[in-house]
Amino acid sequence: MPKLKTLEDLKRVRDEAQQALKTRLDTGTTITVGMGTCGIAAGARETMHAVLDELAKRQIDAHVTTVGCIGQCVKEPLVDIEQAGQPRITYANVRPDMVSRLIDEHLIKGQPVAEWIVGKM
């Protein structure tokens, strides 16, 4: 049963994650990708893939999550980056090929990409 095998795998993933959490409590980064109709049509799912791949490649621990329509269709795909103690920053029209620079400058160098920002909260 391959399925059982993978659920066993998942339990191992869980145990490792819980161990890691004990030693490092400040992962504190969440990246949110808008996934309403307009976002989906504008390629938000591919943008999400690119974000996940880039984070894995650079071994950055961040949570990636999706939300429904937030009513700014022409700005989709919208990507929000929230870090502990920092303002929440929203980027517009984020295509997969923009993700690498976004992660590099915002998350690694700590300098948000000013020209792509549409909102701060």
Partner 1 sequence: MRELALHILDILQNAVEAGATRVALVIVEDVPTDRLVITVRDNGRGMDAQTLAQVTQPFFTSRTTRHVGLGLPLFAAAAERADGQLTIRSQPGVGTTVDVTFTLSHPDRQPLGDMTGTLLAFLLSERTPQLDYQHRVVREGASSVEETDFSFDTADISAALAGLPLTHPAVAQWLAEFLAEGEAELTHVA
**b/e for 56-82, b at 16 or more Cβ within 10 A?**
eeeeeebeeeeeeebebeebbbbbbbb
Of residues 97 and 114, the one with the C-beta less far from partner 1: 97
Q: Is residue 62 classed as helix, strand or coil in its secondary structure?
A: coil
Cα–Cα distance measured from residue 38 to residue 73, given in angstroms and rounded to the nearest whole number: 5
Stretch that binds partner 1, among 65-73, 81-89, 101-109, 111-119 (CB under 8 A): 65-73
Instruction: Give me the least distance between CB of 104 and partner 1, in Å please.
Output: 18
11 contacts partner 1 (rule: CB under 8 A): yes
Instruction: Give me the least distance between CB of 20 and partner 1, in Å please.
Output: 8
Cα–Cα distance measured from residue 40 to residue 68, given in angstroms and rounded to the nearest whole number: 10
Binding residues for partner 1 restricted to 34-53, rule: CB under 8 A = 35-37, 40-41, 44-46, 48-49, 52
Instruction: Give me the least distance between CB of 27 and partner 1, in Å please.
Output: 8
Q: What is the identity of the amino acid at 113?
A: V
7 contacts partner 1 (rule: CB under 8 A): yes
Cα distances from 44 to residues 25, 68, 71, in angstroms, run: 30, 11, 14
Binding site for partner 1 (CB under 8 A): 2-3, 6-7, 9-11, 13-14, 16-18, 30, 32-33, 35-37, 40-41, 44-46, 48-49, 52, 55-56, 61-71, 73
